[in-house]
Each structure stands twice: as structure tokens, then as C-alpha cells.
Structure 1
Amino acid sequence: MKAIRKILYATDFSESSAPACAYAQTLALLAGAEVHVLHVIGELADNRRSRIPPEAFALFEKEIEIQVVKEMEEFCRRHLGEQVSYTTESTIGTPYQAILAAAKEHNADLIVMGTHGRTGLEHVLVGSTAERVVRRSPVPVLTVRAQP
């Protein structure tokens, strides 16, 4: 079996993503791996943003980035602490594409992410980032379903 040296953990900072973080942390401790924590700001990649004047959007984007850095620090402090070595990154884009790109860029051996477990019409309308990552990833993906 291939050694796990780098784990990419994708999060949306919700409490439902905390169980997946616990798995990433445990696997990192067991394997002596580093965790790369990624948050993708998908809302700003929406095509409707062209309706917003560029100056206003740039200011809005900067404010979002400042808030994401604060949320990332708080989330990692609360859920990872000092038990594992980790790095952080936030990016703007389509979530599944950004996750796959980060996995490649950081030579991840494993991707860990939460899933909401949507089914039926909700799944058809919203889609599943986790499903898209699983279908396209060249490295193993561990999905952890959110607790009800």
C-alpha cells in the first residue's frame, strides 16, 4: 500500500464538515502525514457576478477573503489544534475543480471531505461536489457523511 504523506482536507467550515476533519486528523496522526486544509469560495465563481461593477466586486472579494482567513484560523484551531502539521489555503472557483487542482498541486496522497448525503430531487438540483471529486480524482477519496 502506498504511504500517505499528504492529506488534502476540503472544508466549508460547517459543523457538518467536522466529522471529516476528525478523520483527516486521525489518519494524519497514524500515518505521520501533513494535512493541507482547503476552502473553496464557490459563490464568487458564479457567472452572475458580471452584473456587479468590477470596483464593487473587487472590494467585496477582498472582504470575503479576510473573513475566510478568520474562519479558517478558527476552524483549524478548534478542530486540528496542534496535534497535526497542517497548511491552509482558500481559493475562488468551482469547488470540485479547485479540490482536484489542489490535490494535484500539493501531491496529495488522499483527499478527505464531508458530504451532506443529499438524495432525490435535492441531489439532482444541487449536485454533489463530493461525487464529482470521487468520479474524477486520480487519488483515493474518503468521504464522510455529515451527522443528521
Structure 2
Amino acid sequence: MSDIMIAVDLSSFSENLIRTGLELAHKMNASVTLFSVVEIGIGLGLPEAGPVFTDDIPARIREVEERLEAYKQSYPDNNNIKILVTTGNPKNETLEQAHDGNTTMLVVGTHGRTGLDHMLLGSNAEYIIRHSRIPVLVVPYNQQEH
């Protein structure tokens, strides 16, 4: 059985992305992994302001797992949904997890940023498309006509 990995950032669009991925999985008779990454960054504080404290990573992971579990519970007819949460850089972790398992297709969303926003923030979806060794379905966050 093939496995579809749906990579979500838990934004307001995640529900639509998950629904699209689950519809595809149903048509392909595939199992699903709901995947998210808790991004760990480096806090840059001024020395005179005191140390920068990182939040409680295990608590953040549990919070993300609970949110993914709530999405999973929205689809009680689908028993083939697994949940996976990792830490690190979202684009690198997404590719690593997709390539290391039985994933045959990756479903990601894109914000569709352009111009300066795109240059400053980059595009995880674009990076994933360029470096993925498996097919990637990209679901646009903004599905309204331009």
C-alpha cells in the first residue's frame, strides 16, 4: 500500500490541505501520514537584555500532535491516518521524512508569495518541489481567482 504524506504548517489553510490530501488518498487507496515540523530557531537577543529562553520543545511537540489528532478525528471513517511530528528545519525535515519512509507522494501547500516576501521568506514548497525524489502535489493556499 502506498503512503501519502501531508505536510502541514497548522495555518488556517491546513484543514483544506488535509481534506485535499485525504481525497487523493481515498482515490489511490493509500494510507496517510499527517506531518508537521516544530521549527527550532536561534534566538537573537541583545546581551544586555539577558539570556534568550527557548520554549519547552516537548510541550510544543505535544501541542502540535494534539492539533493533528483533532484533524484526524474529523475523519473517523479513515483508519489509515498516522501522525508524525519532528523538530528542525521544515523543508529539510519534510524531505528527509518523505524520502526515508514508504511515502509515494507528498502533499504540501504554498502561500503563493511573490516579490520581496518571496525573497525574504523563501518558499518551502518551492524547495521541496526542486529537491523531492517523489511526486509532490502542491495545493495553493489562495484558491481565489487573481
**If the length of structure 1 is used for normalisation, what is the TM-score?**
0.83
User: In 2, distance between residues paired with 1:7 and 1:73?
Assistant: 17
Aligned match of 1:33 in 12, 15, 30? Answer: 30
8 Å Cα contact 2:17-2:139 kept in structure 1: yes
Q: Which structure 1 residue ranges, 5 or more long, are not aligned?
A: none
Per-residue Cα deviation, 1:40-76 (whole angstroms, up to 9, x for no partner):
111x2x13389546xxx4x711221221121111122
Aligned to 2:82: 87
Provide the residue aligned with 1:112 in structure 2.
Answer: 107
Whether 1:71 and 2:77 are equivalent positions in the alignment is no
Partner of 1:12: 9
1:111 is displaced (CA, Å) by 0.3
Q: Which residue of 2 aligns with 1:130?
A: 125
User: Would you tell me which structure has more helix in proportion to its own residues?
Assistant: 1
Q: Secondary structure at the match of 2:103?
A: coil
Unaligned stretches of 5+ in structure 2? 46-50
Report SS of the residue matched to 1:125. helix
Task: Return the structure number with greater relative CO, CA threshold 8 A, min gap 6.
Answer: 1
Identity %: 28
With over 3 angstroms needed to count, the CA separation of the structure-2 counterparts of 1:76 and 1:127, relative to structure 1, is same
| Residue correspondences, number | 138
What secondary structure sits across from 1:18 in the alignment? helix
Deviation at 1:26, TM superposition (A): 1.1
User: Structure 2: how far apart are the matches of 1:129 and 1:111?
Assistant: 13
- 8 Å CA contact 1:29–1:84 kept in 2: the answer is no
The RMSD of aligned alpha carbons is 2.1
Structure 2 length-normalised TM? 0.84
